[in-house]
């Protein structure tokens, strides 16, 4: 049985294994087949995966003083992107990554196109490069290619922040998140897990979402959780009530018991409204009946026609 506490790490590493195996895995498998060796998943992790994974630090605080440069080359701190009002979606991606970073960013943008909230309005996106050799120029190009696929932006880059920095400040943020990665000198690329992170307006970690495909529903619910009740409609509150995050599955799932409870509350509310309306109608009818039988009406003089004499 898989330990529930290790599920996030396994999810991230599984994606990483798949992506790293594309280059040399086929050749190794062919050689093994020719030698008659059994093929399959090795019992020990590949050396390039050592020290790679995610250790969740839910509700942990990010270092707001971590120093970076934005796409304009301006010196900024991570805290500059948390105004205490809007949640933030954070992703780690370096600009020369041959595969995984682009897969994560592309999947994020595809999902965000189907999320009712808009980047730059209800929430922001912060992308931090894990490669200290990346520059504001490479960050500008990467942002342009990403935002181009975000139809909701209509060409605007508002709310999209691509940051570069030195090794020390990058590590301050990745360690706070629990994002473990390492540089593979043989392949000349970084080995890292695939995930995105939803942060509160106060720069605390609200949710981890794993993989290279993200359900728009999961991102929406994660942002609602991260928003901590700010600007959340009644309908959205109901969604938060009906769904909970499954850390082992890495997504939000609907809770049947909560749905049944909510359905019972709605039914009782509808029944109470119906009874109130019927009671009000009956009260009005009784008032009308009482008015027609009042003493004033009984004492009114009656007029009789005199008989006509022949």
Domain membership of residue 147 (yes or no) is: yes
CATH of the domain at 76: 3.40.30.10
Domain membership of residue 300 (yes or no) is: no
Domain membership of residue 281 (yes or no) is: no
C-alpha dist (Å) from residue 259 to 133, 223, 234, 265, 276: 50, 21, 15, 10, 25
Q: How confident is the model at residue 279 (pLDDT cuts 50, 70, 90)?
A: confident
Q: What mean pLDDT comes out for the span 154-161?
A: 94
Domain membership of residue 253 (yes or no) is: no
**Other CB atoms within 10 Å distance of the CB of residue 106:** 15
Q: What is the mean pLDDT of the chain?
A: 76
Domain membership of residue 69 (yes or no) is: yes
Strand pairing class (205-210; 195-199): antiparallel
Domain membership of residue 273 (yes or no) is: no
pLDDT of residue 17: 40
Domain membership of residue 302 (yes or no) is: no
Question: What is the C-alpha separation between 207 and 230, in angstroms, rounded?
Answer: 17
Question: What is the C-alpha separation between 7 and 63, in angstroms, rounded?
Answer: 26
Q: How many domains, the chain?
A: 1
Domain membership of residue 78 (yes or no) is: yes
State whether residue 205 is helix, strand or coil. strand
Supply the range of the domain harboring residue 133: 4-39+49-227
């Amino acid at each position: 049985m898989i330990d529930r506490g290790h599920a996030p790490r396994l999810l991230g590493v599984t994606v990483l294994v798949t992506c790293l195996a594309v280059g040399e895995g086929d050749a190794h498998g062919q050689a093994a087949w020719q030698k008659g060796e059994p093929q399959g998943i090795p019992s020990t992790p590949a050396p390039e995966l050592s020290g790679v994974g995610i250790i969740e630090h839910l509700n942990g605080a990010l270092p707001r003083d971590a120093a970076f440069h934005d796409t304009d080359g301006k010196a900024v701190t991570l805290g500059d992107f948390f105004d205490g009002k809007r949640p933030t979606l954070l992703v780690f991606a370096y600009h020369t990554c041959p595969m995984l970073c682009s897969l994560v960013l592309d999947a994020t943008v595809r999902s965000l196109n189907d999320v009712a909230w808009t980047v730059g309005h209800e929430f922001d996106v912060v992308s931090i490069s894990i490669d200290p050799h990346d520059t504001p120029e490479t960050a500008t190009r990467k942002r342009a290619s990403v935002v181009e696929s975000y139809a909701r932006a209509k060409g605007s880059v508002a709310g999209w922040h691509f940051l570069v920095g030195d090794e020390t400040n990058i590590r301050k943020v990745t360690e706070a998140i629990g994002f473990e990665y390492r540089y593979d000198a043989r392949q000349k690329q970084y080995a890292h897990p695939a995930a995105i992170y939803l942060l509160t307006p106060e720069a605390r970690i609200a949710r981890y979402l794993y993989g290279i495909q993200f359900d728009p529903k999961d991102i929406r619910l994660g942002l609602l959780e991260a928003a901590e009740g700010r600007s959340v409609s009644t309908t959205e509150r109901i969604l938060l009530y009906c769904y909970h995050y499954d850390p082992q599955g890495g997504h939000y799932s609907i809770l049947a018991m909560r749905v049944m409870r909510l359905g019972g509350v709605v039914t009782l509310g509808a029944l109470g409204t119906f009874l109130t309306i019927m009671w009000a109608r009956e009260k009005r009818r009784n008032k009308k009946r009482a008015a027609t039988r009042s003493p004033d009406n009984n004492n009114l003089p009656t007029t009789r026609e005199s008989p006509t004499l022949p």
